Amino acid sequence: MMDDTNIKILYIVPPYFNIADYVGNLETTALPAFTIPYGILSIDAFIKGNVKNGRVKTDILDFNIEAFRIITEKRQNHNYDLLKVLKDRVKKFKPDIVAISALFNTSYNYLAPISTVIKEQVDSALIVAGGGLPTNLYRKILKECIHIDAICYGEGEIPMADLVNATDHEKLIEKHQSWINRKTINSGKVPINSFVNNLDDIPEFDYSLVNLNDYNARSLDKNYSAQEGKREMSIHTSRGCPFNCVFCANGKLHGKKVRFMSVKKVVTDVKNMVSNFGLTVLIIEDDHFLSDKNRAKYILKQLNEFGIRIEFPNGLAVYGIDEDIGQLLKNAGTTSVSLAIESGSDYVLQKIINKPLKVGMIKPKVRILRDNGIQVHAFIVCGLPGEMDEHRLETINMIENVGFDWVHVFIAIPIVGSRLYDICIDNNYIVNDNMDNHMISKANIKAPGVDPKEIEDFAYRLNLSANFVNNFNMSQGECEKAAISFKNVAQKYPEHAFAHYFLSKAYDCLNSDHELVIKHMNAFSYLVENNEMWKKYANDFKLI
């Protein structure tokens, strides 16, 4: 039991990538986009809006931001440096409760050392964990991470508020439907979700807990990458998704029934972001924003008045796009849309992924967006068990036939809680059990039709082909659009040979400064001469 008149909660976000993969390789390895800890901010707001006794003081430590600093400073003792940051923060803050939010497999190996350091500094602290990973792996975590006291199953707002308001925290954990610990596991308890049925019940967030400048590079449209005064902020206007895509685990966390924030609440929250935080780019992160098209249309109409840009980084459902949606997206400030396409094979979409999409739908929907001046990005996933070479060839053909401003090629990850994970476990498809390797850039599944090395090579070649060699905008004579994309890659990854080559070609097409044409072609030549990988790809694509 703790003094509930002034409870201090430290929220921790473990890294969702393996730092060792990036130290010394930042020039050629793409870091994941850093996303504001929306779930933590939501839980924090709900607790503060429902606390019954005393008050709550909270703090957030996002290790992804700390890890990025370590990588950019090229420090080698990254694990030591990270844990020192944690040690110093815990020692200073002296939390009563530490709540660790872990979303992805790659966070797993950080849970034990993080919880150990916390216990060393504040032995009395109650350490709990939640999010997608603990929800779906609570038995393993409680067995292997001895200093984690309990797991929150599913959404955290109600369970955490109930915990803070309880006079006896151990008793609350034992009796609450969404809390599980070692004792209740042994008694046979199976936790269930405590959903926030009305998302309007969640108060406005306390953004003073984060530095918004740390989360300002998620948007897709690179025309605005260097925009002065750009401020990106996120919103989830709904939770839940009725579909059961093989690689997705969100259904276990948020359920299949879609729950909506009222349009009034959406508009009020966005108005607060614009007025008080200078929002210029609204990142709508719903799993399925178009699940209720009439509601989506009404929201877009209401957002039109703010004069901001809107993006959907999780992808819009292709089948939900129509002429009205296209026009409303444009009017609401949408300049770029990512489409959750996943594959160019009807067999893969319907028989493997279980996605309600047919390839024939894609091109007409892309045309609607293009007619409204909206750039179109595509998400492609390769390496799913049962996907054969002929299916991947269909994907290549679809990309060439439709044409996208950019194609994001991901390798399938067996995310804990997804059907894919269960399939891989049941059939022994996972090559490396170390969850550090469960990343979208690493093939870790060996199954019928899927060889890890071949999938990694296919994914990278598809990236080079779709985005550089056969770039859609270059093929249409839209060299300025292409140049913006190539320049973004070249600036972010100076050792990306193809970015320099095709940026040189784009500048030449635009009759730009001849020195720029020569500069980037020379950079390409240097990289090809001094790097065997780039030499091989340049030869294979007949650039040299």
Q: Give yes or no: residues 502 and 354 share one domain.
A: no
- What CATH number does the domain containing 86 carry? 3.40.50.280
Say if residue 75's pLDDT is above 90: no
- Identify the residue with better confidence: 442 or 445: 445
Instruction: Give me the percent of the chain exceeding a pLDDT of 70.
Output: 95
Look at residue 291 and tell me if it is in a domain.
Answer: yes
Domain end among 431, 446, 470: 470
Domain end among 424, 451, 470: 470
Look at residue 212 and tell me if it is in a domain.
Answer: no
Look at residue 182 and tell me if it is in a domain.
Answer: yes
Q: Give yes or no: residues 237 and 97 share one domain.
A: no
pTM of the model: 0.93
Task: List pLDDT tens digits, range 292-314.
Answer: 999 999 999 999 999 999 999 89
The reported pLDDT for the residue numbered 513 is 87
Mean pLDDT score, 51-72: 89
Look at residue 354 and tell me if it is in a domain.
Answer: yes
Q: Give yes or no: residues 429 and 538 share one domain.
A: no
| Range in 54-68, 213-227, 238-252 the model is least confident about | 213-227
Provide the domain count of the chain: 3
Q: Give yes or no: residues 342 and 438 share one domain.
A: yes
- Identify the residue with better confidence: 185 or 439: 185
Confidence of residue 73 (pLDDT cuts 50, 70, 90): confident
Task: List pLDDT tens digits, range 364-408.
Answer: 999 999 999 999 999 999 999 999 999 999 999 999 999 999 999
Q: What is the mean pLDDT of the chain?
A: 93
The reported pLDDT for the residue numbered 1 is 42
Task: List pLDDT tens digits, range 88-106.
Answer: 999 999 999 999 999 989 9
Q: Give yes or no: residues 455 and 509 share one domain.
A: no
Task: List pLDDT tens digits, range 328-344.
Answer: 999 999 999 999 999 99
Say if residue 28's pLDDT is above 70: no
Strand partners, 179: 152
Q: Is 196 helix (H, G, I), strand (E, B) or coil?
A: coil
Tokens read off for 100: 């660790």
Look at residue 423 and tell me if it is in a domain.
Answer: yes
CB atoms within 10 A of CB 488: 17
Q: Give yes or no: residues 406 and 455 share one domain.
A: yes
Q: Give yes or no: residues 49 and 118 share one domain.
A: yes
Q: 97: domain range?
A: 6-186
| DSSP tally for the chain: helices H, then strands E | 23, 14
Task: List pLDDT tens digits, range 269-298.
Answer: 999 999 999 999 999 999 999 999 999 999
Q: Which long-range contacts (CB under 8 A, 24 or more apart) does 503-511 make?
A: 505/474, 506/474, 506/479, 506/480, 506/482, 507/483, 509/474, 509/477, 509/479, 510/479, 510/480, 510/483
Say if residue 50's pLDDT is above 90: yes
439's CB contacts (< 8 A; 6+ apart) are 17, 18, 21, 106, 411, 413
Q: E strands, 206-360, where? A: 232-235, 238-239, 259-260, 281-284, 309-311, 336-342
Q: Give yes or no: residues 461 and 490 share one domain.
A: no
Q: Are 476 and 506 in contact (CB under 8 A)?
A: no
Task: List pLDDT tens digits, range 456-496.
Answer: 999 999 999 999 999 999 999 999 999 999 999 999 889 99
Distance between CA atoms of 477 and 473, rounded to whole angstroms?
A: 6
Burial of 420 (0-12, 13-18, 19+ CB in 10 A): buried
CB atoms within 10 A of CB 155: 24
Classify residue 447 by its DSSP letter: B
Q: Give yes or no: residues 482 and 462 share one domain.
A: no
Confidence of residue 29 (pLDDT cuts 50, 70, 90): low
Distance between CA atoms of 528 and 539, rounded to whole angstroms?
A: 9
Domain end among 164, 186, 208: 186
Q: Give yes or no: residues 116 and 233 share one domain.
A: no
How big, in percent rounded to 5, are the helix, strand and coil portions of the chain?
Answer: 50, 15, 35
Q: Are 259 and 253 in contact (CB under 8 A)?
A: no
Q: How far is CA 525 from the centre of its chain?
A: 35
